[in-house]
């Protein structure tokens, strides 16, 4: 069964350092999402791509976060500089398209700890 791949699975970094996460969606899925899940809360959308274009980055802290999906396939999320409050699980999800039934397939996530 096809899966969303993410790496690394775990990342520990010091504050003010740069960190990057990678996601490879299910083949053929045009829509890709990055979510952040803080402990005890539900996932919150950071950025949504349709192919290589950003369609929603309203919740992305653009002063330190950036995301790209250059060829409309895999994607990278970057944080620079990292802050203590960025410690969270970063989840990538993909869907066949942005249309109903909105079913998204999630990767295993990257657990980020900022010290």
Partner 1 sequence: DQQVKQNSPSLSVQEGRISILNCDYTNSMFDYFLWYKKYPAEGPTFLISISSIKDKNEDGRFTVLNKSAKHLSLHIVPSQPGDSAVYFCAASLDRGSTLGRLYFGRGTQLTVWP
Position 100 contacts partner 1 (CB under 8 A): yes
Considering the complex, what minimum distance in angstroms separates the CB of residue 81 from partner 1?
A: 27
Cβ distance to partner 1 smaller for residue 52 or 81: 52
Considering the complex, what minimum distance in angstroms separates the CB of residue 16 from partner 1?
A: 28
Pick one of 34, 95, 112, 114: the residue that binds partner 1 (CB under 8 A).
Answer: 95
| 96 touches 28 (CB < 8 A) | yes
Pick one of 44, 62, 83, 84: the residue that binds partner 1 (CB under 8 A).
Answer: 44
Position 14 contacts partner 1 (CB under 8 A): no
Cβ distance to partner 1 smaller for residue 27 or 41: 41
Query: CA 102, 23, 64, 31 torsion: positive or negative?
Result: negative
Pairing status of strand 75-79 against strand 105-106: unpaired
**For the stretch 63-80, what's the b/e string if a residue is b when 16 or more beta carbons lie within 10 angstroms of its beta carbon?**
eebbbebeeebebebebe
Binding site for partner 1 (CB under 8 A): 4, 31, 33, 40-45, 48, 50, 55-56, 91, 93, 95, 97-109
């Amino acid at each position: 069964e096809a899966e969303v791949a993410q790496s690394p699975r775990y990342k520990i970094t010091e504050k003010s350092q740069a960190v990057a996460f990678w996601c490879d969606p299910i083949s053929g899925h045009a829509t890709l999402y990055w979510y952040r899940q803080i402990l005890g809360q539900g996932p919150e959308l950071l950025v949504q791509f349709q192919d290589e274009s950003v369609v929603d980055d309203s919740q992305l802290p653009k002063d330190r976060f950036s995301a790209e999906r250059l060829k409309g396939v895999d994607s990278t999320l970057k944080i620079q500089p990292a802050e203590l409050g960025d410690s969270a699980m970063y989840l990538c999800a993909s869907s066949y398209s942005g249309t109903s039934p909105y079913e998204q397939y999630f990767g295993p996530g990257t657990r980020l700890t900022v010290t």
